[in-house]
Chain A
């Protein structure tokens, strides 16, 4: 039965020969949004996606505790079967208000938000146009539905235009799917140009703001807000597991028939709904995100700090400064060694290997948090520079970092 995973097992065995299993890291304790204990040693967390650092926000914790005390630990079923709790509906209204949309639907995870939304929105005879670097949840959502799926070159409006031209004579709706910030390299979609293509073709547009919610835009609504094109985005998908520090996902839009999605999206219908504690902490996290715009400024500064420090250390960097900073690695072996040595030096990052990465190329991926202090970022830069030098990835230019 498991014979087909033999190649995968041998790949994993190769990965673990150098040291730890990067996909099986088990922390002894989480101390804060930025630190944990691993194998009895304190490590700095530089790969959490905890952009605003809200996982330890006292108000969010208090709300979660109060909701558990009042409503119990879980809903034990789906909203279709077990009913909607007051908190679910309140969260949907709050989220819609924050995003400036008429309606929002909450899912149990961000993965399920894409699975449910994409498979339900685009049906047989319709067309989904996906950016080549889309997250697995987008590909899986497309696969679960019956629409024809076309992949276009990453961040290439001309390639999207060409494909829409070839599909122009075909019946059915066309739904373009983009991401605000792409999770592996931290690059953003050229949204204004994409919107132009969408308008020309009379297509629909869905933007997954999983990594850009709370990060981009004057109010943290994401890339569409930052680029001033929210009116052209028909569907916004996102997650509660990054800036909002919990778990869950959503889809928000202005269409009136939105309730039909509740009985069409299988990933919504056939899974247990979010527990009261999560609903309450996410509600509170939205309040915190609105009330503390300075968190976004700190996050931006931290991203720029790490990016500039690594550039000064001589690293070739993947994209413009953003909360995600990725170092392209020359090969898998070096990437695995780099990740292990950094962890030995007390810095936890994400090892990203193909096929989950653009072009299948190995990456050392980091994400900063607003909760990181400048001193912690300096510590991380020094550890990265020393490790990079030891592995021959940066030859010179370390003086500024090491001094």
Chain B
């Protein structure tokens, strides 16, 4: 049984820090000599979810499904096409100018490629202190002290402040990126595939660091990744995206043990398990075909072209986003399980 009070958040897991309602992000397509707009890529098309204070919300999906666009839109790195993004009760989708700038220190981002996101001509110290300068937080000795603290917080030698990014390995560069994101003491961090570019043995170091920092500083993460086993490890709740829509959202164990949406099931069965005994006898759902073009998504359910369970209704009527009722969350809390599919009872 579900009531409005239950779906409205404010459950034991903490009040929502970020609330997203019908978020839309379309990118225009221009063609011809006059560069007329002929259509748009619907990268993010009507997302609604909450991120609770102190939790890690995992966002998974394949390339091109809109997960990075969603992360960037939440931070207002884009002018969103439609919808509301409420951060601590303020709608930041509407903010502009100085009002938006004042909100920026509260929310930060960690990027995928630690090589590309650090300016090779700046020292590590100036990279980390740039946000402090921008927002006039600290100067002089106070600033240098803060940089040293930040480097220590991410497990690096404070003496490294005078070195350049090329002197560091991938894992260390990612630590520098994390230190920069922490500089303004944010509440909310969007981690956009923070470990995808790192080697397996280094991934664990970075993930452990992110978890330690979350515990110490009470951070809230949106953790975007295509690595489902890492999502299972780090996330409290997981949202699965396909072609601009969230198809399923559930507490992490519930999603991995009892997935409801056919796409989630296929995605989970496609992840190779590092155990030959399991690999030899597991059942795989092999999807046929490819992800359709987001500029011209199929009618009805977007997954209907590849779905093994599709019926006629799926290609006509778009499934509604509905609550299946409470499921067991992490730390004994009760969370809701949402899905958008006609075939789920």
Partners in one complex: no
Interface residues of A (CB under 8 A from B): none
Interface residues of B (CB under 8 A from A): none
